[in-house]
Structure 1
Amino acid sequence: MGFLPCGVYHERYRQQHAWWQTRFVWGKMILLFVTIFYLFPKFAGLYYISVANVIGYTILSALGVQLLIGYCGQVTLGHSAFLAVGAYTCTLLMLQLQVSYPLAMLAGGMA
């Protein structure tokens, strides 16, 4: 709910609470996503890609905790343990047994 350019108004309540309210903002967000998910891996080194992966996993974990605590109102005691077990399973399968990444991720999710 921020300030809008002159002449832009909302006809419905749903429009007022949209994340991206104007077409210009939609265009900027699409350009940002293309830059992040397509161009960044092509030009960044392996170190920066691995750091971006760790940041992405951390964000995903934080969103899961936010869902449990913030919206559901439940106290989360084992959330990080479940995340760690899945990550450990995936890593062991890939490094020790030479399982492909998609299968190791699937097994880590089931663990």
Structure 2
Amino acid sequence: MVLEGIGARIRALRRKKGLTLNELASRCQLSASFLSQVERGMISPSIVSLYRICQVLEIPISHLLAEPIPPCLPGHPGPKPAPHQARQFGRLIPVSFRRVRGPAA
């Protein structure tokens, strides 16, 4: 689910900014109880509410909506795309950039 974890991210960013729940709610023109429920993952905020929160926290809305990227260990190449994702990505590469194979020897 896309909205999973947004509340925890909002709480972490709010605390990083040194704002209380009431301060953020007031600046966003939202109720503190609503914001508390969002932070605890009990309800999903509307796009308008997310926009207000992001304005106050001075972050792009995509920062909250993006899936977190798992950290990679040093020397580890990181996660590989699933086969269906690799095929979809291959369709996005223009033909002129694809490696053209010559005739078989």
Q: TM-score range by the shorter chain?
A: under 0.3
Q: Please give the TM-score of this superposition, normalised by the length of structure 1.
A: 0.23
Kindly indicate whether structure 1 or structure 2 has the higher relative contact order, using CA contacts under 8 Å at least 6 residues apart. 2
Judging by fraction of residues, say which structure has more helix: 1
